Structure 1
Amino acid sequence: MKLNVRESGEGDKIAVLIHGFNCDSGDWWELTPELLRRGYHVKAVDLRGHGHSPRATSYTLPEYAADVVETIGESPELIIGHSLGAQVTALTVPELLPSKAIYFDPPWSLPEEGAPNLFPDLSAIPSMTDEELAATLRHDFPAWSEKAIEVDVASWRLWDPATAATITDVRLSGMPERALVPSLAIAAEKDTVFAAKDHATAQERGFVVRLAPGLTHSLFRDDFDLVLSLISDWL
Protein backbone atom coordinates (compact mmCIF):
# COMPACT_ATOMS: atom_id res chain seq x y z
CA MET A 1 0.00 0.00 0.00
CA LYS A 2 1.28 3.45 -0.90
CA LEU A 3 1.12 5.73 2.11
CA ASN A 4 0.49 9.42 2.46
CA VAL A 5 3.79 11.21 3.05
CA ARG A 6 4.27 14.66 4.58
CA GLU A 7 7.39 15.71 2.71
CA SER A 8 9.58 18.74 3.30
CA GLY A 9 13.07 19.99 2.59
CA GLU A 10 15.48 19.53 -0.28
CA GLY A 11 18.54 18.26 1.55
CA ASP A 12 20.63 15.41 0.20
CA LYS A 13 19.97 13.22 3.26
CA ILE A 14 16.61 11.49 3.63
CA ALA A 15 15.02 11.12 7.07
CA VAL A 16 11.98 8.84 7.38
CA LEU A 17 9.72 9.50 10.38
CA ILE A 18 7.22 6.86 11.58
CA HIS A 19 4.61 7.88 14.15
CA GLY A 20 3.02 5.87 16.94
CA PHE A 21 -0.37 4.26 17.43
CA ASN A 22 -3.44 6.45 16.75
CA CYS A 23 -1.19 9.36 15.72
CA ASP A 24 0.03 10.50 12.30
CA SER A 25 2.76 12.44 10.50
CA GLY A 26 1.69 15.64 12.25
CA ASP A 27 3.47 14.30 15.36
CA TRP A 28 6.79 15.52 14.02
CA TRP A 29 5.96 19.24 13.92
CA GLU A 30 8.85 20.09 16.27
CA LEU A 31 11.44 17.62 15.02
CA THR A 32 11.01 18.35 11.31
CA PRO A 33 12.40 21.93 11.45
CA GLU A 34 15.44 20.63 13.34
CA LEU A 35 16.08 18.04 10.64
CA LEU A 36 15.64 20.61 7.88
CA ARG A 37 18.25 22.82 9.54
CA ARG A 38 20.62 19.85 9.44
CA GLY A 39 20.19 19.35 5.70
CA TYR A 40 17.62 16.56 5.63
CA HIS A 41 14.85 15.84 3.17
CA VAL A 42 12.11 14.72 5.56
CA LYS A 43 9.54 12.06 4.68
CA ALA A 44 7.01 11.61 7.50
CA VAL A 45 4.57 8.82 6.69
CA ASP A 46 1.00 8.16 7.78
CA LEU A 47 0.73 4.43 8.50
CA ARG A 48 -2.24 2.54 7.08
CA GLY A 49 -5.39 3.45 8.99
CA HIS A 50 -3.80 6.66 10.27
CA GLY A 51 -3.76 10.21 8.98
CA HIS A 52 -4.52 10.54 5.29
CA SER A 53 -3.32 7.06 4.31
CA PRO A 54 -5.86 4.46 3.12
CA ARG A 55 -7.86 2.31 5.50
CA ALA A 56 -7.41 -1.45 5.32
CA THR A 57 -9.11 -4.68 6.33
CA SER A 58 -6.01 -5.86 8.19
CA TYR A 59 -3.49 -4.11 10.44
CA THR A 60 -0.39 -6.15 11.26
CA LEU A 61 3.21 -5.18 11.86
CA PRO A 62 4.50 -6.86 8.67
CA GLU A 63 1.85 -4.99 6.66
CA TYR A 64 2.75 -1.65 8.22
CA ALA A 65 6.42 -2.27 7.45
CA ALA A 66 5.80 -3.44 3.88
CA ASP A 67 3.81 -0.26 3.24
CA VAL A 68 6.71 1.90 4.44
CA VAL A 69 9.22 0.00 2.31
CA GLU A 70 6.98 0.26 -0.76
CA THR A 71 6.40 3.97 -0.18
CA ILE A 72 10.00 5.01 0.56
CA GLY A 73 11.71 2.61 -1.85
CA GLU A 74 15.30 3.72 -1.17
CA SER A 75 17.87 3.64 1.61
CA PRO A 76 17.53 6.75 3.80
CA GLU A 77 20.18 8.30 5.97
CA LEU A 78 17.95 8.04 9.02
CA ILE A 79 14.75 6.35 10.22
CA ILE A 80 13.06 7.47 13.44
CA GLY A 81 10.09 5.60 14.91
CA HIS A 82 8.02 6.10 18.04
CA SER A 83 6.18 3.28 19.87
CA LEU A 84 4.28 1.36 17.16
CA GLY A 85 6.47 3.25 14.69
CA ALA A 86 9.56 1.93 16.49
CA GLN A 87 8.45 -1.65 15.90
CA VAL A 88 7.72 -0.80 12.28
CA THR A 89 11.18 0.75 12.06
CA ALA A 90 12.74 -2.50 13.28
CA LEU A 91 11.04 -4.40 10.47
CA THR A 92 11.94 -1.88 7.77
CA VAL A 93 15.64 -1.67 8.68
CA PRO A 94 16.60 -4.99 7.02
CA GLU A 95 14.84 -3.86 3.82
CA LEU A 96 15.75 -0.17 3.63
CA LEU A 97 19.14 -0.40 5.40
CA PRO A 98 19.30 3.19 6.64
CA SER A 99 22.64 4.60 7.74
CA LYS A 100 21.23 4.82 11.28
CA ALA A 101 17.99 4.40 13.22
CA ILE A 102 16.49 6.00 16.31
CA TYR A 103 13.80 4.28 18.38
CA PHE A 104 11.61 6.37 20.71
CA ASP A 105 10.41 4.26 23.66
CA PRO A 106 10.16 1.06 21.63
CA PRO A 107 7.74 -1.53 23.07
CA TRP A 108 10.44 -4.06 23.82
CA SER A 109 9.21 -5.12 27.28
CA LEU A 110 6.15 -7.17 28.12
CA PRO A 111 3.88 -5.51 30.70
CA GLU A 112 4.44 -6.73 34.24
CA GLU A 113 1.57 -8.04 36.30
CA GLY A 114 -0.42 -5.19 37.80
CA ALA A 115 1.14 -2.56 35.54
CA PRO A 116 -1.23 0.12 34.19
CA ASN A 117 -2.48 -0.35 30.65
CA LEU A 118 -0.81 2.24 28.42
CA PHE A 119 -3.25 1.43 25.64
CA PRO A 120 -6.71 1.85 27.20
CA ASP A 121 -10.07 1.37 25.52
CA LEU A 122 -10.36 4.20 23.00
CA SER A 123 -13.77 3.27 21.66
CA ALA A 124 -15.37 6.43 23.07
CA ILE A 125 -13.14 8.76 21.05
CA PRO A 126 -15.31 8.98 17.91
CA SER A 127 -18.26 10.22 19.96
CA MET A 128 -16.28 12.88 21.82
CA THR A 129 -16.12 16.48 20.67
CA ASP A 130 -12.78 18.15 19.96
CA GLU A 131 -13.19 20.16 23.15
CA GLU A 132 -13.78 17.00 25.19
CA LEU A 133 -10.74 15.32 23.67
CA ALA A 134 -8.58 18.36 24.36
CA ALA A 135 -9.81 18.57 27.95
CA THR A 136 -8.99 14.90 28.49
CA LEU A 137 -5.46 15.41 27.18
CA ARG A 138 -4.91 18.49 29.35
CA HIS A 139 -5.95 16.49 32.38
CA ASP A 140 -3.92 13.38 31.57
CA PHE A 141 -0.82 15.14 30.21
CA PRO A 142 -0.36 18.49 31.97
CA ALA A 143 3.14 18.94 30.51
CA TRP A 144 1.86 19.04 26.92
CA SER A 145 1.66 22.34 25.06
CA GLU A 146 -1.58 23.50 23.47
CA LYS A 147 0.00 22.82 20.07
CA ALA A 148 0.73 19.21 21.04
CA ILE A 149 -2.85 18.80 22.19
CA GLU A 150 -4.19 20.32 18.96
CA VAL A 151 -2.06 17.96 16.86
CA ASP A 152 -3.14 14.93 18.85
CA VAL A 153 -6.84 15.79 18.60
CA ALA A 154 -6.48 16.24 14.83
CA SER A 155 -4.79 12.85 14.49
CA TRP A 156 -7.54 11.11 16.46
CA ARG A 157 -10.11 12.52 14.03
CA LEU A 158 -8.32 10.81 11.13
CA TRP A 159 -7.56 7.52 12.91
CA ASP A 160 -9.26 4.20 12.12
CA PRO A 161 -10.20 2.58 15.49
CA ALA A 162 -9.85 -0.84 13.84
CA THR A 163 -6.06 -0.39 14.12
CA ALA A 164 -6.43 -1.14 17.84
CA ALA A 165 -6.17 -4.80 16.87
CA THR A 166 -2.45 -4.14 16.35
CA ILE A 167 -1.66 -3.50 20.00
CA THR A 168 -1.21 -7.10 21.13
CA ASP A 169 0.94 -7.74 18.06
CA VAL A 170 3.13 -4.75 18.92
CA ARG A 171 3.69 -5.74 22.55
CA LEU A 172 4.44 -9.41 21.82
CA SER A 173 6.80 -8.88 18.89
CA GLY A 174 9.67 -8.05 21.23
CA MET A 175 13.15 -6.68 20.75
CA PRO A 176 15.15 -7.31 17.56
CA GLU A 177 17.84 -9.94 17.92
CA ARG A 178 20.51 -7.44 16.92
CA ALA A 179 20.98 -3.93 15.61
CA LEU A 180 21.70 -4.23 11.90
CA VAL A 181 22.70 -0.57 11.60
CA PRO A 182 23.88 1.99 14.19
CA SER A 183 20.83 2.30 16.41
CA LEU A 184 19.85 4.53 19.32
CA ALA A 185 16.96 3.64 21.65
CA ILE A 186 15.49 6.35 23.89
CA ALA A 187 13.66 4.92 26.90
CA ALA A 188 11.10 6.87 28.90
CA GLU A 189 11.54 6.76 32.67
CA LYS A 190 7.78 6.72 33.43
CA ASP A 191 4.97 4.65 31.92
CA THR A 192 7.50 3.11 29.58
CA VAL A 193 7.14 0.09 27.31
CA PHE A 194 10.93 -0.36 27.35
CA ALA A 195 11.69 -1.22 30.97
CA ALA A 196 15.05 -0.66 32.65
CA LYS A 197 15.42 -4.42 33.18
CA ASP A 198 15.74 -4.85 29.40
CA HIS A 199 18.22 -2.05 28.69
CA ALA A 200 21.28 -4.26 29.19
CA THR A 201 19.90 -6.84 26.77
CA ALA A 202 19.40 -4.14 24.16
CA GLN A 203 22.97 -2.96 24.64
CA GLU A 204 24.26 -6.51 24.27
CA ARG A 205 22.38 -6.68 20.96
CA GLY A 206 24.12 -3.57 19.68
CA PHE A 207 21.69 -0.79 20.59
CA VAL A 208 22.84 2.40 22.30
CA VAL A 209 20.33 3.04 25.10
CA ARG A 210 19.67 6.44 26.66
CA LEU A 211 17.15 7.22 29.40
CA ALA A 212 14.80 10.22 29.16
CA PRO A 213 14.56 11.18 32.84
CA GLY A 214 11.13 12.19 34.08
CA LEU A 215 9.42 11.64 30.73
CA THR A 216 6.55 9.32 29.86
CA HIS A 217 5.93 7.20 26.78
CA SER A 218 4.90 10.41 25.01
CA LEU A 219 8.51 11.68 25.26
CA PHE A 220 8.77 14.54 22.77
CA ARG A 221 5.31 15.82 23.68
CA ASP A 222 6.41 15.95 27.33
CA ASP A 223 9.68 17.81 26.75
CA PHE A 224 10.93 18.21 23.20
CA ASP A 225 14.11 20.07 24.19
CA LEU A 226 15.21 17.23 26.47
CA VAL A 227 14.54 14.63 23.79
CA LEU A 228 16.43 16.69 21.22
CA SER A 229 19.42 16.88 23.55
CA LEU A 230 19.43 13.07 23.78
CA ILE A 231 19.44 12.50 20.02
CA SER A 232 21.21 15.59 18.67
CA ASP A 233 24.57 13.87 18.12
CA TRP A 234 22.79 11.18 16.09
CA LEU A 235 21.10 13.55 13.65
Structure 2
Amino acid sequence: MRLKTHTWGSGDRVALLIHGLMADHRTWRRVGPALAGRGYRVIGVDLPGHGRSPRGSGPYGAGLYRLDDMALAVAAACPHGADVAIGHSLGALVLERATHLGMAVDRAVYSDPAWRSEPQDLAPARAYKHATRDEIRAANPRWDPAAVDDEVACLALWDPDTLTVLEPPPGLPVTAVRPSLVLLADPSERIPPGAQDLLRARGFALRTVPGAGHSIHRDDFPGFMSALSDWA
Protein backbone atom coordinates (compact mmCIF):
# COMPACT_ATOMS: atom_id res chain seq x y z
CA MET A 1 0.00 0.00 0.00
CA ARG A 2 1.39 3.41 -0.97
CA LEU A 3 0.32 6.39 1.11
CA LYS A 4 0.02 9.88 -0.32
CA THR A 5 2.73 12.13 1.10
CA HIS A 6 3.63 15.82 1.03
CA THR A 7 7.17 17.14 1.47
CA TRP A 8 8.52 20.44 2.74
CA GLY A 9 12.20 21.36 2.54
CA SER A 10 15.27 19.42 1.47
CA GLY A 11 17.48 19.26 4.55
CA ASP A 12 19.79 16.41 5.49
CA ARG A 13 17.67 15.44 8.51
CA VAL A 14 14.21 13.87 8.17
CA ALA A 15 11.10 14.80 10.13
CA LEU A 16 7.99 12.65 9.77
CA LEU A 17 4.54 14.14 10.53
CA ILE A 18 1.50 11.91 11.14
CA HIS A 19 -1.87 13.64 11.43
CA GLY A 20 -4.82 12.78 13.62
CA LEU A 21 -8.23 11.32 12.89
CA MET A 22 -10.30 13.20 10.26
CA ALA A 23 -7.30 15.29 9.12
CA ASP A 24 -4.54 14.84 6.54
CA HIS A 25 -1.12 16.38 5.82
CA ARG A 26 -2.73 19.83 5.60
CA THR A 27 -3.07 19.97 9.37
CA TRP A 28 0.71 20.58 9.41
CA ARG A 29 0.43 23.68 7.18
CA ARG A 30 2.54 25.77 9.58
CA VAL A 31 4.59 23.04 11.27
CA GLY A 32 6.00 21.55 8.04
CA PRO A 33 7.57 24.78 6.75
CA ALA A 34 8.80 25.67 10.24
CA LEU A 35 10.66 22.37 10.59
CA ALA A 36 12.00 22.74 7.04
CA GLY A 37 13.40 26.08 8.22
CA ARG A 38 15.25 24.19 10.96
CA GLY A 39 17.05 22.08 8.35
CA TYR A 40 14.71 19.11 7.93
CA ARG A 41 13.23 17.38 4.93
CA VAL A 42 9.72 17.06 6.27
CA ILE A 43 7.41 14.24 5.16
CA GLY A 44 3.70 14.55 5.95
CA VAL A 45 1.66 11.41 5.30
CA ASP A 46 -2.05 10.96 4.62
CA LEU A 47 -3.14 7.94 6.67
CA PRO A 48 -5.37 5.30 5.04
CA GLY A 49 -8.90 6.64 4.67
CA HIS A 50 -7.66 10.23 4.86
CA GLY A 51 -6.63 12.74 2.22
CA ARG A 52 -5.63 11.09 -1.04
CA SER A 53 -4.48 7.78 0.47
CA PRO A 54 -6.23 4.44 -0.23
CA ARG A 55 -9.74 3.77 1.11
CA GLY A 56 -10.91 0.72 3.02
CA SER A 57 -13.50 0.15 0.30
CA GLY A 58 -10.77 -0.22 -2.34
CA PRO A 59 -8.72 -3.26 -3.30
CA TYR A 60 -7.07 -3.50 0.14
CA GLY A 61 -10.38 -3.94 1.97
CA ALA A 62 -11.43 -3.02 5.50
CA GLY A 63 -8.21 -4.42 6.98
CA LEU A 64 -6.57 -1.23 5.80
CA TYR A 65 -7.92 0.47 8.92
CA ARG A 66 -6.24 -1.80 11.45
CA LEU A 67 -3.62 -0.08 13.58
CA ASP A 68 -0.81 -2.44 12.55
CA ASP A 69 -1.58 -1.93 8.87
CA MET A 70 -1.58 1.85 9.28
CA ALA A 71 1.74 1.66 11.13
CA LEU A 72 3.35 -0.53 8.46
CA ALA A 73 2.09 1.80 5.71
CA VAL A 74 3.63 4.80 7.48
CA ALA A 75 6.94 2.96 7.90
CA ALA A 76 6.93 2.17 4.18
CA ALA A 77 6.37 5.86 3.39
CA CYS A 78 9.55 6.69 5.35
CA PRO A 79 11.72 3.64 4.58
CA HIS A 80 14.99 5.10 5.90
CA GLY A 81 13.47 6.21 9.18
CA ALA A 82 13.36 9.68 10.69
CA ASP A 83 15.47 11.81 12.97
CA VAL A 84 12.24 12.97 14.60
CA ALA A 85 8.66 11.81 14.12
CA ILE A 86 5.60 13.68 15.40
CA GLY A 87 2.17 12.10 15.66
CA HIS A 88 -1.02 13.86 16.71
CA SER A 89 -3.92 11.97 18.33
CA LEU A 90 -4.51 8.91 16.11
CA GLY A 91 -1.18 9.71 14.46
CA ALA A 92 0.47 9.24 17.85
CA LEU A 93 -1.07 5.75 18.12
CA VAL A 94 0.21 4.90 14.66
CA LEU A 95 3.68 6.27 15.42
CA GLU A 96 3.98 4.38 18.69
CA ARG A 97 2.94 1.13 16.99
CA ALA A 98 5.35 1.75 14.11
CA THR A 99 8.28 2.10 16.52
CA HIS A 100 7.35 -1.25 18.09
CA LEU A 101 7.23 -2.78 14.61
CA GLY A 102 10.78 -1.63 13.95
CA MET A 103 10.56 1.74 12.21
CA ALA A 104 13.79 3.64 12.83
CA VAL A 105 13.02 6.87 14.72
CA ASP A 106 15.65 8.71 16.75
CA ARG A 107 13.11 10.83 18.70
CA ALA A 108 9.34 10.44 18.90
CA VAL A 109 6.89 13.18 19.83
CA TYR A 110 3.29 12.29 20.71
CA SER A 111 0.93 15.28 20.59
CA ASP A 112 -2.08 14.75 22.88
CA PRO A 113 -2.18 11.05 21.94
CA ALA A 114 -5.47 9.11 21.80
CA TRP A 115 -4.26 6.50 24.27
CA ARG A 116 -7.65 6.08 25.94
CA SER A 117 -8.26 2.92 27.94
CA GLU A 118 -12.03 3.23 28.39
CA PRO A 119 -14.65 2.62 25.66
CA GLN A 120 -16.01 5.78 24.06
CA ASP A 121 -19.04 6.78 22.05
CA LEU A 122 -17.73 7.35 18.53
CA ALA A 123 -21.06 8.56 17.11
CA PRO A 124 -20.25 12.28 17.63
CA ALA A 125 -16.94 11.83 15.80
CA ARG A 126 -18.72 10.13 12.92
CA ALA A 127 -21.28 12.95 12.77
CA TYR A 128 -18.47 15.53 12.64
CA LYS A 129 -17.88 14.42 9.06
CA HIS A 130 -20.71 16.80 8.13
CA ALA A 131 -19.67 19.77 10.29
CA THR A 132 -20.08 23.14 8.63
CA ARG A 133 -17.41 25.82 8.46
CA ASP A 134 -19.27 27.81 11.14
CA GLU A 135 -19.48 24.76 13.42
CA ILE A 136 -15.76 24.07 13.00
CA ARG A 137 -14.92 27.70 13.76
CA ALA A 138 -17.15 27.70 16.86
CA ALA A 139 -15.57 24.48 18.14
CA ASN A 140 -12.05 25.79 17.56
CA PRO A 141 -12.06 29.54 18.25
CA ARG A 142 -8.25 29.80 18.36
CA TRP A 143 -7.71 28.46 14.84
CA ASP A 144 -6.80 30.86 12.06
CA PRO A 145 -9.07 30.94 8.96
CA ALA A 146 -6.66 28.78 6.93
CA ALA A 147 -6.87 26.00 9.55
CA VAL A 148 -10.68 26.10 9.39
CA ASP A 149 -10.55 25.89 5.59
CA ASP A 150 -8.15 22.94 5.84
CA GLU A 151 -10.52 21.14 8.21
CA VAL A 152 -13.41 21.54 5.77
CA ALA A 153 -11.28 20.08 2.97
CA CYS A 154 -9.99 17.23 5.15
CA LEU A 155 -13.47 16.22 6.29
CA ALA A 156 -14.66 16.04 2.69
CA LEU A 157 -12.03 13.35 2.00
CA TRP A 158 -12.16 11.51 5.34
CA ASP A 159 -13.72 8.03 5.52
CA PRO A 160 -15.55 7.74 8.89
CA ASP A 161 -15.03 3.97 8.85
CA THR A 162 -11.48 4.69 9.98
CA LEU A 163 -13.01 5.09 13.46
CA THR A 164 -12.83 1.29 13.74
CA VAL A 165 -9.11 1.70 14.47
CA LEU A 166 -10.14 2.91 17.96
CA GLU A 167 -12.14 -0.24 18.73
CA PRO A 168 -11.12 -1.56 21.18
CA PRO A 169 -9.46 1.44 22.88
CA PRO A 170 -5.68 1.11 22.60
CA GLY A 171 -4.73 2.02 26.18
CA LEU A 172 -1.36 3.37 27.31
CA PRO A 173 1.90 2.07 25.82
CA VAL A 174 3.89 -0.20 28.10
CA THR A 175 7.23 1.49 27.54
CA ALA A 176 8.96 4.18 25.50
CA VAL A 177 10.84 2.31 22.77
CA ARG A 178 12.64 5.47 21.62
CA PRO A 179 13.36 8.77 23.40
CA SER A 180 9.78 10.00 23.63
CA LEU A 181 8.08 13.29 24.42
CA VAL A 182 4.35 13.59 25.09
CA LEU A 183 2.82 17.03 24.51
CA LEU A 184 -0.42 17.59 26.38
CA ALA A 185 -3.40 19.88 25.92
CA ASP A 186 -4.42 21.95 28.94
CA PRO A 187 -6.26 20.05 30.26
CA SER A 188 -5.88 16.84 28.31
CA GLU A 189 -9.11 14.83 28.09
CA ARG A 190 -7.22 11.89 26.57
CA ILE A 191 -4.35 11.65 29.07
CA PRO A 192 -5.67 12.48 32.58
CA PRO A 193 -3.31 13.06 35.53
CA GLY A 194 -3.18 9.41 36.62
CA ALA A 195 -2.25 8.29 33.12
CA GLN A 196 0.38 11.03 32.98
CA ASP A 197 2.05 9.60 36.08
CA LEU A 198 2.09 6.14 34.50
CA LEU A 199 3.66 7.47 31.31
CA ARG A 200 6.43 9.18 33.28
CA ALA A 201 7.10 5.91 35.12
CA ARG A 202 7.29 4.14 31.75
CA GLY A 203 10.00 6.41 30.39
CA PHE A 204 8.08 9.19 28.62
CA ALA A 205 8.89 12.88 29.06
CA LEU A 206 5.75 15.04 29.37
CA ARG A 207 5.13 18.72 28.68
CA THR A 208 1.89 20.69 28.77
CA VAL A 209 1.20 23.60 26.41
CA PRO A 210 -0.81 26.00 28.64
CA GLY A 211 -4.30 26.79 27.39
CA ALA A 212 -4.05 24.65 24.26
CA GLY A 213 -6.81 22.30 23.13
CA HIS A 214 -6.45 18.83 21.65
CA SER A 215 -5.06 20.11 18.34
CA ILE A 216 -2.14 21.87 20.01
CA HIS A 217 -0.31 22.82 16.81
CA ARG A 218 -3.38 24.65 15.48
CA ASP A 219 -4.53 26.13 18.80
CA ASP A 220 -1.14 27.54 19.77
CA PHE A 221 1.45 27.20 17.01
CA PRO A 222 4.15 29.24 18.83
CA GLY A 223 3.57 27.22 22.02
CA PHE A 224 3.76 23.96 20.08
CA MET A 225 7.03 24.89 18.38
CA SER A 226 8.49 26.16 21.64
CA ALA A 227 7.69 22.84 23.32
CA LEU A 228 9.64 21.10 20.54
CA SER A 229 12.66 23.38 20.90
CA ASP A 230 15.14 20.73 22.06
CA TRP A 231 13.45 17.78 20.34
CA ALA A 232 13.14 18.91 16.70
| Pairwise same-fold verdict (TM > 0.5) | yes
Map of 2:109 onto structure 1: 102
User: 2: distance between equivalents of 1:160 and 1:118?
Assistant: 14
Give the conservation status (yes or no) of the 8 Å contact 1:97–1:181.
Answer: no
Map of 2:32 onto structure 1: 32
Give the conservation status (yes or no) of the 8 Å contact 1:192–1:216.
Answer: no
Structure 1 residues 117 and 193, CA gap change in structure 2 (3 angstroms): farther
What number of residue pairs does the alignment pair up? 225
User: 2: distance between equivalents of 1:110 and 1:118?
Assistant: 14
Tell me the amino acid that sits aligned with residue 179 of structure 2: P
Map of 2:96 onto structure 1: 90
TM-score, normalised via structure 1 length: 0.89
Structure 1 residues 31 and 121, CA gap change in structure 2 (3 angstroms): closer
Query: Matched residues, percent identical?
Result: 36
Give the conservation status (yes or no) of the 8 Å contact 2:207–2:227.
Answer: yes
Deviations 1:9-39 (A, max 9, x none): 1111111110000100011011111111111
Tell me the amino acid that sits aligned with residue 175 of structure 2: R
User: 1: distance between equivalents of 2:17 and 2:160?
Assistant: 22
Structure 1 residues 137 and 39, CA gap change in structure 2 (3 angstroms): same
Alignment partner of 1:47: what SS? coil
Structure 1 residues 234 and 121, CA gap change in structure 2 (3 angstroms): closer
The one of 120, 125, 133 aligned to 2:124: 120
Structure 1 residues 69 and 219, CA gap change in structure 2 (3 angstroms): same
Residue 208 of structure 2 is aligned to residue 208 of structure 1: no
Across the aligned residues of Structure 1 and Structure 2, the Cα RMSD in angstroms comes to 1.9
Shift in Å, 1:124: 6.5
Deviations 1:182-232 (A, max 9, x none): 110011123521112111111111110011222221211111111111111
**Which sections of structure 1, spanning at least 5 residues, go unmatched?**
none
TM-score, normalised via structure 2 length: 0.90
User: 2: distance between equivalents of 1:158 and 1:19?
Assistant: 14
Structure 1 residues 103 and 76, CA gap change in structure 2 (3 angstroms): same
Deviations 1:65-89 (A, max 9, x none): 0111122111210110000000000
Map of 1:156 onto structure 2: 155
Residue 191 of structure 2 is aligned to residue 194 of structure 1: yes
Tell me the amino acid that sits aligned with residue 157 of structure 1: A
User: 1: distance between equivalents of 2:137 and 2:214?
Assistant: 16
Deviations 1:83-112 (A, max 9, x none): 000000001113112110100001224359
